[in-house]
Amino acid sequence: MKVAIYCRTSTQEQHTENQRIELEEYANRMGYEYEVFEEKESTRNTRPVKQALLQRLRLKEFDGVLVRQLDRWARSISELILEAEDLFIAKKISFISLKDNIDLSTSSGQLIFHIFSAFAQFERSLIRERTMSGLARAVKEGKQLGRPKGSKDKTDRRKSGYMLRWAGKKVEKEK
């Protein structure tokens, strides 16, 4: 089996070496052929190494991905869920999180993953309900929604006839 070993740190001061050593030892024990992908100082939106790896996974250049922990692969559960269902489960690409003891190529690994997914979806739903309730209350109280115009902000956001998007509905703001 050919796997991609993915190591990530959030800052330049951190090192991927500990992750890499542990994952390479595991891959060698399992008899995997592997290629290492290391990403340093990543942000939510800029992970070029991971994006390049995702492209290669879609082309089926690897049979699986090996990471130390789930948080090294994805920054949020929703990101993990989307990629897992779209790529790993649907395309039958193995995903192994060594420390979390999750292997999406096994039935028990998929069960654990789906339990995590269910809790994540429930949490997102609760947050959305609270947010929508708070926005509805604020509108009823006549509060202006949105970011206030700041000293560095040159955009006039309080023009008359301004259309406000709220809860998927367009609401004409009073003049």
Tokens of 137: 């209350």
pLDDT at 161: 44
Residue whose structure tokens are 């789930």: 70
pLDDT at 151: 56
**What does the pLDDT look like over 83-133, one tens digit per residue?**
888 888 888 899 998 988 888 888 888 888 778 767 767 877 888 899 899
pLDDT at 166: 46
Print burial letters for 1-20: b (CB count within 10 Å at least 16), e (below 16): eebbbbbbbeeeeeebeebb
- Higher local confidence (pLDDT), 48 or 154: 48
pLDDT at 167: 46
**What does the pLDDT look like over 28-64, one tens digit per residue?**
999 999 999 999 865 656 788 999 999 999 999 999 9
Say if CB 56 and CB 4 are below 8 A apart.
Answer: yes
- Assess whether pLDDT exceeds 60 at residue 137: yes
- Integer Cα distance of 129 and 16 in angstroms: 39
Closest CA to 33 of 1, 68, 66: 1
User: pLDDT-derived band of residue 156, with 50, 70 and 90 as boundaries?
Assistant: low
> Domain spanning 2-105 has what CATH number?
3.40.50.1390
| Active site residues per annotation | 10
Angle at the Cα of 98 (from 64 to 13), degrees rounded to 5? 100
pLDDT at 87: 83
- How crowded is residue 126: how many other Cβ atoms within 10 Å of its Cβ? 10
Question: What phi, psi does 17 have (nearest 5°)?
Answer: -55, -45
Please report, for the chain, the start and end positions of each structural domain, with discontinuous segments joined by +.
2-105
Say if CB 66 and CB 32 are below 8 A apart.
Answer: yes
CB-based burial label for 116 (10 Å; 0-12, 13-18, 19+)? middle
For residues 72-88, give the mean pLDDT: 81
